[in-house]
Structure 1
């Protein structure tokens, strides 16, 4: 096991449900300095685990473990932290309670404060649903977080994004004949169609038109759909996917007792220096949505990743996109948050 477990105990979720013996899986990179102020929090995205974040961590990179103490907490529901697949009855599989982004960040805050005694976050960063967690960190703990850098992630699930996620969920509901009593019978093979649905949203029209899947070693479009999208999604537990989809569909940094749904107020509350990097061709976490958000954060730079890789411009696959993100993170980390 290349990660650690932080026991949360019995936690009362935002829904009011108590999840017993909850836990957060996490991995750290680098060392915490004496001042405890060299901390970067880098939450995982939908379907990802900590290893999928490692492309952005390394000596000489912005997230340099020789300079920073990097904490990568795993999203609740991803199979490592408390999830439908690893929780005993009565909260296993489709009985797993709904967990919000707000819940996730509260648990992550407990990890860094209770386990490590950290009171200052130099940077909260993340891709996709990791990006919304970085926004949530800035809104939930404005006096603690000095910088945020969401990339290909929005501060709430906008209506079209909700519809996209509903479409991703639909094959699983269809496999269960839209009867919740049948959902516990879902298997990995039911995820095949989910991958095919997401294939049309994860990358841009230009990516497919230019046949850039050939750069990844696939000769035909069908080979790419099977070799990447089907195989990737079939490795995921369908009940975990349904749990994470719910978290994604109801993500909103203002949907909590702090802001009571006032989204603009939540954005204005963020004191951190923000570098917001949407993928310029992202089809469901759109640059337009991010631009709206950036304009309402007091100290934000809006800097789109000019790429045909769509949502996956932030996934660590294309070297030019990776360099763009790393360069911007280096510039952000060089800024004095008090200036």
Structure 2
């Protein structure tokens, strides 16, 4: 897995904690042009690394590396950027500091300005927690970001979203009897229950009712849950997962000194042309939540993905959903930001 590291030095986080020797792992696709105005930033989602974003990058697609310079920064806590699994004591494992989406975007801004000297971003795009980062980019750097395209991602964890993430967290912490002093005893095997919990939220009622998992090569519901959900979650470090869950639960784009918790103001401050694409059957980053957000962003269009793939309409699995996302991003990139 080829990627690069941007050393950030000692970073002062929003929490007030200083994370020593912090770093961002990132990968780039394409070539930065002379004017440095062909830039697309595509942050990773919860549990994902840059390779999981590559389905949306390719010749002839909206994110075409022959036209654009695409930067994929890895989320803090995902195992490649600074994370519980790769940080030295005293900030290793359960002692890793709390990191916000605001922190992530601030550090990505450093990468983009210090490493590449970029002052304008044509587009910030992302799925799920990558979508929240797209909203945050628009709110944190309204002068710099020309377009945003969050898909199956919301601008804050609405109460129901918070509860869903809490359920995943509880499934993991139950393995150590909810004793915070025993969190370092958690193992990869303890992630099995988390996968089972998420299986009910990642996809829609209709997906399961119509047994679409058969199209993915699974003969039964049990095989699908074990083969996809258990398997993928048991490959994740439990401490990284807890760190990312905390980030997700506190990912309000207004929870920072710029907006002091005024969510509506943060949305209204986004100047970027925006294409907001929820999954029409997403159970925990709902189209209703996104619709509220889109109405407050001055230059937003609201384009739900007509899909029964739930949250995973944005995951690059179903070709019709992929085409819908790609087409809408192409349309967004074709819109002029002048005037």
TM-score of the two chains, using structure 2 as the length reference: 1.00
Distance between the aligned counterparts of 2:282 and 2:121, measured in 1?
28
Find the counterpart in structure 2 of residue 176 from structure 1: 176
Find the counterpart in structure 2 of residue 213 from structure 1: 213
**1:117 corresponds to 2:117:** yes
Find the counterpart in structure 2 of residue 236 from structure 1: 236
Q: State the shift of 1:96 in Å.
A: 0.0
Q: State the shift of 1:108 in Å.
A: 0.3
Find the counterpart in structure 1 of residue 66 from structure 2: 66
Q: State the shift of 1:15 in Å.
A: 0.1
**1:98 corresponds to 2:74:** no
Find the counterpart in structure 2 of residue 306 from structure 1: 306
Unaligned runs of 5+ in 2: none
Find the counterpart in structure 1 of residue 15 from structure 2: 15
Find the counterpart in structure 2 of residue 271 from structure 1: 271
Q: State the shift of 1:296 in Å.
A: 0.1
Report Cα offsets for 1:27-70 as digits up to 9, x if no partner: 00000000000000000000000000000000000000000000
Matches for 1:1-339 after TM superposition, within 5 Å = 1-339=1-339
Secondary structure at the counterpart of residue 304 of structure 1? coil
TM-score of the two chains, using structure 1 as the length reference: 1.00
Q: State the shift of 1:237 in Å.
A: 0.2
4+ residue runs of structure 1 moved beyond 2 angstroms? none
Distance between the aligned counterparts of 1:106 and 1:176, measured in 2?
34
Report Cα offsets for 1:187-241 as digits up to 9, x if no partner: 0000001000000000000000000000000000000000000000000000000
Q: State the shift of 1:305 in Å.
A: 0.1
Secondary structure at the counterpart of residue 124 of structure 1? strand
Q: State the shift of 1:297 in Å.
A: 0.2
How many residues align? The count is 339
Please provide the CA RMSD for this pair. 0.4
Distance between the aligned counterparts of 1:272 and 1:338, measured in 2?
11
Report Cα offsets for 1:71-108 as digits up to 9, x if no partner: 00000000000000000000000000000000000000
Report Cα offsets for 1:253-305 as digits up to 9, x if no partner: 00000000000000000000000000000000000000000000000000000
Secondary structure at the counterpart of residue 8 of structure 1? strand
Distance between the aligned counterparts of 2:36 and 2:28, measured in 1?
14
Q: State the shift of 1:338 in Å.
A: 1.4
Q: State the shift of 1:173 in Å.
A: 1.1
Secondary structure at the counterpart of residue 163 of structure 2? helix
Secondary structure at the counterpart of residue 137 of structure 2? helix
Q: State the shift of 1:172 in Å.
A: 1.3
Q: State the shift of 1:176 in Å.
A: 1.1
Secondary structure at the counterpart of residue 153 of structure 1? coil
Report Cα offsets for 1:140-193 as digits up to 9, x if no partner: 000000000000000001000000000011111111101111110000000001
